[in-house]
Chains A and B, each alone.
Chain A
């Protein structure tokens, strides 16, 4: 179990630029989640994959956001035309049997200037 990894750990970008984050889940986990956490709040659900299928998207996920998990392994989250309100920590988590809990990665902290 090498844990969930995310890349990059930090990203600073200018408003209007596109950014892409990567998540590598624990290898045998078929469920993958993205969450967003803003200052002083708990994480909020963004989207869920089971294998390669994206089965749920939150209303928080505007049209500027897109997520993929092409081969049911790693996942990417892209934000187009970033806005200052997108500044947050983006957390990825995975889950597989027999666990009840989700295992989180270290997060990608995005700052939009």
Chain B
């Protein structure tokens, strides 16, 4: 079974600064996908960024970038120029191949990010 570890229960960052949220994963698959989702207090999971295991470049989406280190099995999320609206829970997830081709997501426990003005 695959496993996602997020070791930071909470992180604080000053507005306009960059912050890195840690994620390590464990899998024996050669082909896999890694995701980051944001969950505000309203509860909806918002997709941020995706990294495929065979992608040669680190993924970037606007202010979000994924620092993918395959040998270390880490997929850290970097948020640049933090904004107050970035305060939320952040979840790292891995796509796991299941029965019937489900490709379900396995999530970590999340990191609560607080952006201070």
Does residue B12 face the partner (Cβ distance < 8 Å to A)?
no
Give A41 to B93 CA distance when docked, in angstroms: 12
Please state if B107 and A56 are interface contacts (CB–CB under 8 Å): no
Is chain A's binding surface mostly helix, strand, loop or mixed? strand
Which residues of chain A are within 8 angstroms of B4 by Cβ–Cβ distance?
42
Does residue A25 face the partner (Cβ distance < 8 Å to B)?
no
Does residue A33 face the partner (Cβ distance < 8 Å to B)?
yes
Which residues of chain A are within 8 angstroms of B43 by Cβ–Cβ distance?
89, 106-107, 109
Give A78 to B102 CA distance when docked, in angstroms: 21
Does residue A26 face the partner (Cβ distance < 8 Å to B)?
no
Does residue A96 face the partner (Cβ distance < 8 Å to B)?
no
Please state if B100 and A55 are interface contacts (CB–CB under 8 Å): yes
Residue of B with least CB distance to A105: B44
Give A55 to B35 CA distance when docked, in angstroms: 23
Which residues of chain A are within 8 angstroms of B33 by Cβ–Cβ distance?
100
Give A43 to B102 CA distance when docked, in angstroms: 16
Please state if B109 and A42 are interface contacts (CB–CB under 8 Å): yes
Interface residues of B in 8-59 (CB under 8 A from A): 33, 35, 37, 42-47, 50, 52
Which residues of chain B are within 8 angstroms of A91 by Cβ–Cβ distance?
45
Looking at the assembled complex, report how far the CB atom of A44 sits from the nearest CB atom of chain B, in whole angstroms.
7
Chain B residues engaging chain A, CB cutoff 8 angstroms? 4, 33, 35, 37, 42-47, 50, 52, 91, 93, 95, 98-110
